[in-house]
Structure 1
Amino acid sequence: MTDATSDRLAGATDRTRLDRLRAGLKRRHAKEARFKWYGRLAIAAAVLCLAILLFFFNDTANTEFYTHTVTVPVYMDPARVDRAYPQGSNFEQLAAEQQLARWGVQDDAAGRASAEMRGLFSSELKFVAADLVAKRPDIIGETVPLAAPLSDDADLYLKGEISKSTPEDQRRLTDRQIAWLERMQAEGVVGAHFNTALFTNGDSTQPELAGVLGAVVGSALLLMVTALIAIPLGVGAAVWLEEFAPKNRLTDIIEVNINNLAAVPSIVYGLLGLALFINWMHLPRASPLVGGLVLALMALPTLVIATRSSLKAVPPSIREAALAMGASRTQTVFSHVLPLAMPGVMTGAIISMAHALGETAPLLLIGMVSFVPGVPHAIDQPVGALPSLIYIWENASERAFHERTAAAIIVLLVFMIIMNAAAIILRRRFERRW
């Protein structure tokens, strides 16, 4: 074989290898490009789902952030207003009769007209009038303007949730009530304003008076008890397992069980809390104390795992340097390792608390599914929480409660977003890169 032939064969071999190399690089670059597009599509799908969720809740709840009130002049008839006990006076009937009299509408013997007019006013009107008489008894015998919310059905009609085209026997407002409501609106005695009651009232049997304040305070008390129990225990257990515990069969079993407990359904923790804290220890049912204990048990595995991961992320050179300088094992851990791991610990704590905030099943099993009016002030009182309030409102028979459910969900989502944003900010603020 001549040298020229050998050179041609060697050149052909090199070209073949180069072509294979180029083809392999092309396939690898194509895979990398596809992977990048898969990631972009996944992010786009997640953002789209979040946008659809927010749009759905906002479209349902936007009408709940404003409400309608009616202001009517009422003559405080001395013959019908009890000066000693104004709460016993029927101010709603008084306002309805006088409103009909101003329009020249005659009530029938059965009082149907006044009953229908009374159905346009919220029961809050009698409390407003009673408080006014209690504070100023001298107004008895005078005509005073009373401002109160409209009833839930009247409010829904003005928001477009009840249609006049619907047959009368299929809606809760009669044709006459709708005509009166439109007349009051035309006279300017009905006005729309921001629904402050949604954020300043507790739960109520009347949808137009129900608010989330009691549930927000209840959730805050729950998180306080959960944090006071779960964070010290979770961080302490993680520090001991990661830094001090001997590596033997017992610690291996503990680690496996902690990982398994993180995957246990939350309803199991509710059953545990019902059996242990209520039936055996006889702690107050539906109280933040019991709820906080249950949620703390549920948050502990997640907190332990997150804290251990943060401790593992601290370079071994930190420990070695501290020990070389004469520090004890305890001083090394609590003066050097744990402070450096604190961003991850705080992130895990906040995320576990946010997870506990959104839990519903354990709270239902320990009794936080009943009607609790007012705002709680102690951890041993029955309370509600935002997730359980959403469950109660969604299962209520009145349609107006369903509208408020979406508003309560938005409030809960805002709290979740704030807590997760705080976790991200803390991590970026205190994170150190090695």
Structure 2
Amino acid sequence: MDTGSTAWMLASTALVCLMVPGLALFYGGMVAAKSVLNMIMMTFGSVALVGCIWVVYGFSASFGDSIGGAGILGDVTEFFGMSGVMKDDPKAVIPLSVFAAFQALFAALTAALICGAISDRIKFGAWMTFTGIWVTLVYLPVAHWVFAFDGKGVVGGWIVNKLGAIDFAGGTAVHINSGAAALAVILVLGKRIGWKKEGGAERPHNLPLVMLGAGLLWFGWFGFNGGSALTSSNAASVVVLNTFTATCSAMLGWLVVEKVRDGHATSLGAASGAIAGLVAITPSCGAVSPLGALALGAIGGAVCALAVGLKYKLGYDDSLDVVGIHLVGGITGTLLVGVLATADAPNGVDGLLYGGGLGLLGKQAVGAFAVLLYSFGVTWVIAKVLDRTMGLRVRPEVEAGGVDVHLHAESAYDLAHPAGPEAAPAPVAAG
């Protein structure tokens, strides 16, 4: 067992865990003051629920031996309740337990990403119910497709093994998956009260929180991508360099588009551009050179900056641009592997610009759109069933008055009631 790689994976797991408050602050700063606690609660709540599911059957469904060798779903009984995970395997490079913890945070954060699209209008109980069902029916199979490699006597997922598509750290399983799911839930849930096609959505209430959250996410992403190398090695080092490089160019790419289109380069644009770059480089961080990462980041930042405006033209209320950044950025980064990949990078495969032909690009497209269609379709059914049974949306008066007070009996900024939260108006039922 490699103690250096084990130490790196332990550190990477801690870095990825820091992305939880990073995401909560990033999303929380972008919503209205009356909704910030609910956004933070949805983020932390989904992480807690997914963590429990992961221990019971999630890890086994994602990384167990593929049922029937089909590459669709892992054997749920193989590691049920984390059985066998604590054993010390002298042939392993890293302990299975640290890999399980690392991947648990991937599952938790993927689910949490969705809540940014549906802020201000969903019941907290409905969100938690949706999260548990969605992780079970959507994330676990897709994670098996993308992350479960074939091993000695073990059959993994079809996208990574049979198709041979490259997704180093989750452009498909995390970003396309969550972005497609977000779009499906948006279409079932409907628009916020007062939302208009020409910018009627409420403005961010705290931009410094957004920037702080983006910074924490950037910091944690080094563990997210670098830890996906699973070793303390040259590959991890290249991935960290590419992750930093693409994020820098993506921020500039977004700001250029913003300046040309709107006449201003904003702090919200800088934060959004950084996240767009991190999303785009996630699948490709082990496949491109640093110059390729510069190009990929700039393209990803510019494309996502343009994509966020589609919601006004097409009429879907994506509150915090989960579709525009994660779905579009994930597709962009995944497809550009087929163009910008170089055999000199850790993945060792040439893309179109390096003489590799169209084969890899085709594989990337199949993997990306298979995940998109599966996630969108199944998520739409889940959301529709929940809406018809328990109901997803809060009452109009709850939405207008603020979900923080009415759903959680708390206020983030108790400026109107200096005597304390007990002086605040009593919450009303959310249904």
Larger relative CO (CA 8 A, sep 6+): 1 or 2? 2
Place the TM-score, normalised by the shorter chain, in its bin.
Answer: under 0.3
More strand by share: 1
Looking at CA atoms only, which structure, 1 or 2, has the larger radius of gyration?
1
